[in-house]
Amino acid sequence: MKKFGLFVLGGIAAVTLLANIGPMIGLAIGLVILYFAVKGFMKAETTSKKMLWGAVGVIAACAAISNVPALLGVLALYVLYLVYKGWNKSETEATDDPFVNFEKQWAEMNRN
């Protein structure tokens, strides 16, 4: 039953990720342009260049902000990662006894 739940959750996350690929690409492009605009603004020595880089930065920030739904895609990607990590995890691995792994490692060290 746990695998079925992970499968359904992974399917929903995959569909959400595919639906938000466009905004994710737009967000990435907007953030890259904004990064270079800030770097150019810091390097600029004249007021006109600072105004130009400032305008580019404002436009890039608006483009990045308009792609806020991409955060749902990033969240869906993280959920897919968690589903992938939890898929092969067995229930017996989750134990509260910290000495179980210690005893296994100690036995492996004594063999060598």
- Do 16 and 47 lie in a common domain? no
- The domain tally of the chain equals 2
Place of tokens 């810091």: 42
Residue 31 sits in the same domain as residue 60: yes
Token duo for residue 25: 């690409």
Q: State residue 94's pLDDT score.
A: 52
- CA distances for 52 relative to 41, 47, 55, 57, 85, angstroms: 8, 9, 5, 9, 47
Together in a domain, 28 and 63: yes
- Say yes or no: 48 and 64 in one domain: yes
If asked whether residues 57 and 31 sit together in one domain, one would say yes
Residue 43: domain span: 24-68
Shared-domain flag, residues 31 and 58 = yes
Q: Are residues 30 and 51 in the same domain?
A: yes
Q: Are residues 64 and 79 in the same domain?
A: no
Please report whether residue 59 resides in a domain.
yes
Round to whole Å and give the CA distance between 43 and 35.
13
pLDDT recorded at residue 103: 76
Assess if residue 10 is contained within a domain. yes
- In the prediction, which pLDDT does 92 show? 53
Per-residue tens of pLDDT for the chain, all 112 residues: 678 888 888 889 889 889 989 999 999 999 999 999 999 999 999 999 999 999 999 999 999 889 888 888 889 989 888 888 888 775 555 556 667 777 777 788 888 6
Three-state SS at 106: helix
Residue 100 domain flag: no
* Residue 78: inside a domain: yes
